[in-house]
Amino acid sequence: MQSPTDRAVRAAYELAQERYAALGVDTEAAMTRLAQVAISLHCWQGDDVGGFEIDGGELSGGIAATGNYPGKARTADELRADLDVAYRLIPGDHRLNLHAIYAETGGQRVARNQIGPEHFAAWVDWARANGHGLDFNPTCFSHPLAADGFTLAHQDPAVRQFWVEHCVASRRIGAHFGRALGTPCVTNIWIPDGHKDTPADRLAPRQRLIESLDAVLAEKLDPQHNRDAVEAKLFGLGFESYTAGSHEFYMGYAISRPGTLLCLDAGHFHPTEVISDKISAVLLYVDELLLHVSRGVRWDSDHVVTLTDELQAIMQELVRGDFLGRTHIGLDFFDASINRVAAWAIGTRNALRALLMALLEPTALLREQEAAGDYTARLATLEELKGLPFGAVWDAYCLRQGAPVGLGFLGEVRAYERDVLAAR
């Protein structure tokens, strides 16, 4: 028997379906396509990028999680339990993005260049049981050998070798995830390497970084199991004047190393620079793209993703260019000032909401108008879309996927906070 809310959602959807059909948009097809997209949630939102290393150090590498909201995960089991709640609040089937510091070593000290698949066995079992794919990242920060701000571009060959070995081990773990779960793992390399003040030599660190990356990627892994990505950044705390791994550096590297994905992080560019405009340009030269959807505020502050114009523009580019099949979408924010489970739910639901909005565009019509030089009609159509009942389609999608409609997810978050998180 339908509840009054369910009946209202279905009635509103039928009206919305008619409105969109008048523009040639098939709402059913849009929801079917959306259900095929798996967003990779980031594990580090649940514990403020702490990880589970023995004697784990303070955050470094220009990373800072601000806030002290109670209830953060203290163990891998707590983190997985929190994630289970978050996934129930998000429509669709999605992935998890792990960092190397989330290894479970049974209380033993294991150097980062010695980690292996066995240290992530519980994560694989959990992912298999819940139908989640896994993605992976070497952790080249928050470590004594990264304390001076350099890792793969370090002047000391011994330090560079340590980080090369860590990244090699991480790629092998990623390949293990792909084999075990039957879906390719994207293993993404990000390093903080750079200078606080203006350097005299910008070239040498980049030359060393090329050598290190080539050593990391020398072992050929089956792309059905592991996909390699490299991630650029403009600056970070303590690295305001120079980063070796800039956008231009990594774009050149990815283009010149076939099969390497380029990662664009929405918070890793100048505050007035956006990644939506880069997507079509980059995909002319690389086969696949990795997106880290975040929300920088004045700097790379990794705020929870909201339904901003830029988020909508990112998803519009993916749909208008038919790039969804070539793009891996992940999230990257860590807000410790609000309930962490709610942060996952709000951010991921917004990413999916923006993608659905893009899928509900009459793309063929807009292209026809543009090709004909009828920019007046194009503008009028785009503006008209803003007033169409998109929310009714989103509510219907959540209902069909078994996820809470509207603010219903917040009640579940509050109950979990009261019954579980408050006791931590």
In angstroms, the CA 100 to CA 259 distance is 23
Instruction: Note whether 263 and 190 are within 8 A (CB).
Output: yes
From the list 132, 225, 233, 328, the catalytic residue is 233
From the list 44, 190, 344, 394, the catalytic residue is 190
Is position 300 annotated as part of the catalytic site? yes
- Name the pairing type of β-strands 327-331 and 289-293: parallel
Burial code of 81-107, b = ≥16 C-beta within 10 A, e = fewer? bbbebbbebbbbbbbbbbbbbbbbeee
Is position 265 annotated as part of the catalytic site? yes
Instruction: Note whether 97 and 139 are within 8 A (CB).
Output: no
In terms of Cβ atoms closer than 10 Å to its own Cβ (0-12, 13-18, 19+), residue 219 is: exposed
Is position 268 annotated as part of the catalytic site? yes
From the list 135, 302, 361, 395, the catalytic residue is 302
From the list 135, 231, 310, 361, the catalytic residue is 231
Instruction: Note whether 409 and 345 are within 8 A (CB).
Output: yes
- Name the pairing type of β-strands 261-265 and 226-231: parallel
Is position 196 annotated as part of the catalytic site? no
Is position 231 annotated as part of the catalytic site? yes
Q: Tokens representing 16?
A: 């919305």
Is position 247 annotated as part of the catalytic site? no
Is position 292 annotated as part of the catalytic site? yes
From the list 48, 288, 332, 395, the catalytic residue is 332
Tokens 């396509």 correspond to 33
From the list 72, 119, 268, 278, the catalytic residue is 268
From the list 47, 48, 228, 265, the catalytic residue is 265
Q: Tokens representing 40?
A: 């990779």
CA 103 to chain centre: 19
From the list 72, 225, 292, 303, the catalytic residue is 292
Is position 419 annotated as part of the catalytic site? no
Is position 332 annotated as part of the catalytic site? yes
In angstroms, the CA 320 to CA 323 distance is 8
Active centre residues (catalytic)? 190, 231, 233, 265, 268, 292, 300, 302, 332
